[in-house]
Structure 1
Amino acid sequence: MFSMDDFYKSGEVEEDGWNLMSSGGRSNHGWRSQSSVCWVGATALCLGLLLLTVIMVAHNTSAINQWDSKYTDLIHVLTKGRDELRDERDQLKIQSSNLTQELEALRSQYNDVVDSRDKLQEDIKNLHRNRTDKSCKPGWLKFNNKCYFVSPCGTSKTWEGARKDCQQKGADLVIITTRDEMDFVKSSFAITWIGLSRHEHEDKWKWVDGTFLDGDGFWQDGEPNNSDGEEDCVELSRSATAWNDVHCNQKFSWVCED
């Protein structure tokens, strides 16, 4: 049988069920409210991000413009530097070309000098060879690769006469430069004219080739003394093996040198 207790239980169940339904309805309504809040927040966030993006774009545009200005200035500086370097390079090319031409000219001159030197060296060798192989004329004596003519025995001339005889033979009076040569010359005669003299009003002794006496020479002791002021020519004495100044008009034997 159905009792009041059962009725009240049933009511409690229904009340509870209503309460549950009411709670469920409230729960759905609360969810819809929370969704609206989230949508508004997302929209605000998007607007904020969009604004931030706009600000960043504007900032970047300004930075890009500034960078473009600096970049343009840098390009101008680099272009100017490049042009200057190009001009300097062209100048260096011109200088290098000029130096190359000068070098070639110097090489040509050097080769000419070398050829001339080689020819001179060859000529010197030939001269030495000819000098070594030099043969003297008939009647001439050879000593140290030089040729000498000794005047005939018993013949004497003044200094000028003796020199003229040598010149007629294509030579001149002997020029003595070493003691060996002096020993050779003095061996022929007691007194011999040599090619050393002093011209009037001159205080220097001069050889027949125009050169002045170098050094002290081979004078006898106390000579040259020019005892009477007219001893302007020189003779070689065999006994003294030395020179003496005498009058040029005296007559002695002589020796020519070729």
Structure 2
Amino acid sequence: MCVKLNLFIKIIVLKQDSWRAERDNLTSMNSETEARSRTISLERDELKKKLNTLAQPGWRLFTSRAYYISPTKKSWQESRAYCQSVDADLMIINSREEQVFANSFKLHMWIGLTDSETEGTWKWVDGSPLTTSYWGSQEPNGKTEENCGEIKSFTTERSWNDGTCSLQLNWICEMNFAQ
């Protein structure tokens, strides 16, 4: 009888250990699922915010991005602040297609290019270096007086100019959906 009782107790203890391990595993899985759910909810909310922004007048879709063409004028920094307030930034032009697209609005406008950090070293607002450019003839030429990039002459593909950042110009924001 004692042997059977000891065996029964060992079986019960083993079952309890097994149940504890299963409970711990389920608790861990539940925590991971809750964390994933929170992440998905945050991503959903960000997408809703972007969609609400894009529903406003002035936004245009091109490739996998959306662009806002301002109807008003601001300084380069004020323009950038506006773009950032809607989870975008001033436009970064990475291809000939984007350059042609930007020129198509026929506006003298700010883009996301500056050398204000280091004179003569032009960078995009995301910190990436300028590799492909569409500077107009004899540009950039403003030295320390002109540190912000603009589209000045939209009648030619090579339309960029370095302008005084405090000038009041239209601007173009770029919103990337992959972020």
Who is 1:197 aligned against?
Answer: 114
SS in 1 for 2:79: helix
Q: Give the whole-Å Cα distance in 2 for the aligned partners of 1:201 and 1:186.
A: 27
Q: Give the whole-Å Cα distance in 1 for the aligned partners of 2:96 and 2:163.
A: 21
C-alpha displacement at 1:200, in angstroms? 4.7
Where do 1:136-155 residues align within 5 Å?
137-139=54-56, 140-152=59-71, 155=72
Who is 1:183 aligned against?
Answer: 100
Number of residues paired by the alignment?
A: 121
TM-score when scaled to structure 2?
0.62
Higher-Rg structure is: 1
The one-letter code matched in structure 2 to 1:236 is I
> Which runs of 5 or more structure 2 residues have no equivalent in the other structure?
1-49
Work out whether 1:231 is the aligned partner of 2:150.
no
TM-score when scaled to structure 1?
0.44
Who is 1:159 aligned against?
Answer: 76
Who is 1:40 aligned against?
Answer: none
Q: Give the whole-Å Cα distance in 1 for the aligned partners of 2:118 and 2:101.
A: 32
C-alpha displacement at 1:190, in angstroms? 2.5
Q: Give the whole-Å Cα distance in 1 for the aligned partners of 2:84 and 2:77.
A: 11
Whether the 8 Å CA contact 1:197–1:232 is kept in 2: the answer is yes
Q: Give the whole-Å Cα distance in 2 for the aligned partners of 1:165 and 1:178.
A: 24
Work out whether 1:171 is the aligned partner of 2:88.
yes
SS in 1 for 2:78: helix
C-alpha displacement at 1:204, in angstroms? 0.4
- Give the aligned CA root-mean-square deviation in angstroms: 1.9
Who is 1:240 aligned against?
Answer: 156
The one-letter code matched in structure 2 to 1:225 is N
Distance 1:257 1:201, change over 3 A: closer
Q: Percent identity?
A: 40
Greater RCO structure (CA 8 Å; 6+ sep):
2
